[in-house]
């Protein structure tokens, strides 16, 4: 089972109002990503939009109306793209926006979204490890605050940490996760605190 990273851009952060997803991106490698603009669903009429969020991600309402895809189409394509994958984000909010998107589409969740803290715990990554890996990525050219690029950068961070732990993304000398015979449910329940937790709630 392979790892895919995911990121959402949204109309605003929940602390600023009732937010809805406007873009979702996924990455199965650090080299490429796929993303979808999401047309605002009628269910989200009257939900909040902030100028601060728009200034950060650069996506306008007009662009969403012109280029965004219906929620149902995005969910269907995500279901196909994420089949057989374990999906991870760097914010618990991404799981909430995935649920909001699926609810609007009247469809099951395309995938359950786990938090990168679970990977950090499995690798035994320290705060120093995360800081060094993150600094190493600064030398690479990643866009920021667009869903596809943020998902790609998150995958690159996981890849960097796994290599520092003596493994690669494509193959491990030991399993990254030791699942029980009955499996382990991935959801948005909090994993043990990690060095990334302080930044995990600023996904836009």
CATH 3.30.2320.50 fits 2-199, yes or no: no
Q: What is the pTM of this model?
A: 0.81
Q: Is 101 helix (H, G, I), strand (E, B) or coil?
A: helix
| Per-residue pLDDT, 153 | 92
Q: Which residues are bridge partners to 9 per DSSP? A: 23
Share above pLDDT 90 across residues of the chain, in percent, rounded to a whole number: 62
On the question of pLDDT at 106 being above 50, the answer is: yes
- pLDDT above 90: residue 195: no
Nearest to 196 by CA among 119, 117, 129: 117
Confidence of residue 185 (pLDDT cuts 50, 70, 90): very low
Burial readout 33-57 (b: 16 or more C-beta within 10 A, e: otherwise): bbbbbbbbbeebeebbbbeebbebb
For the chain, the domains span 2-199
Residue 168: per-residue pLDDT: 46
199 band by pLDDT with thresholds 50, 70 and 90? very low
CA atoms 157, 162, 167, 172: torsion sign: negative
Helices 147-164 and 116-123 pack at an angle, to 10 degrees, of: 10
Kindly report the number of other CB atoms within 10 A of residue 174's CB atom. 8
Q: How confident is the model at residue 204 (pLDDT cuts 50, 70, 90)?
A: very low
What pLDDT does 145 receive?
A: 76
Residue 138 pLDDT > 90: no
List the beta bridge partners of residue 27. Answer: 5
90: closest CA among 176, 37, 158?
A: 158
- Top pLDDT among 144 and 194 is at 144
Report phi then psi at 170, rounded to 5: -75, -25
pLDDT in tens, 3-28: 999 999 999 999 999 999 999 999 99
- pLDDT for res 167: 53
Q: Is the pLDDT of residue 183 over 60?
A: no
Classify each residue of 133-160 as buried b or exposed e, where b means 16 or more C-beta atoms within 10 Å of its C-beta: bbeebeeeeeeebbbbbbbbbbbbbbbb
């Amino acid at each position: 089972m392979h790892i895919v990273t995911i990121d959402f851009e949204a109309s605003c952060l929940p602390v600023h109002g009732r937010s809805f997803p406007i873009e979702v991106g996924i990455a199965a490698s650090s080299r490429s990503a796929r993303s979808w603009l999401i047309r605002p669903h009628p269910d989200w009429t009257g939900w909040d939009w902030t100028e601060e969020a728009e200034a950060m991600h650069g996506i306008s309402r007009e662009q969403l109306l012109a280029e965004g895809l219906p929620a149902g189409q995005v969910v269907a394509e995500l279901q196909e793209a994420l089949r057989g994958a374990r999906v991870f984000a760097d914010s618990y909010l991404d799981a909430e926006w995935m649920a909001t998107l699926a609810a609007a589409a009247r469809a099951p969740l395309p995938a359950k979204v786990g938090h990168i803290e679970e990977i950090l715990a499995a690798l035994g990554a320290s705060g120093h490890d995360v800081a060094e890996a993150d600094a190493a990525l600064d030398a690479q050219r990643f866009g920021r605050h667009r869903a596809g690029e943020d998902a790609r950068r998150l995958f690159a961070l996981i890849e960097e940490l796994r290599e520092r732990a003596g493994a690669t993304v494509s193959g491990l000398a030991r399993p990254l996760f030791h699942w029980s015979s009955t499996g382990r449910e991935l959801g948005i329940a909090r994993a043990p605190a990690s060095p990334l937790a302080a930044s995990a709630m600023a996904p836009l």
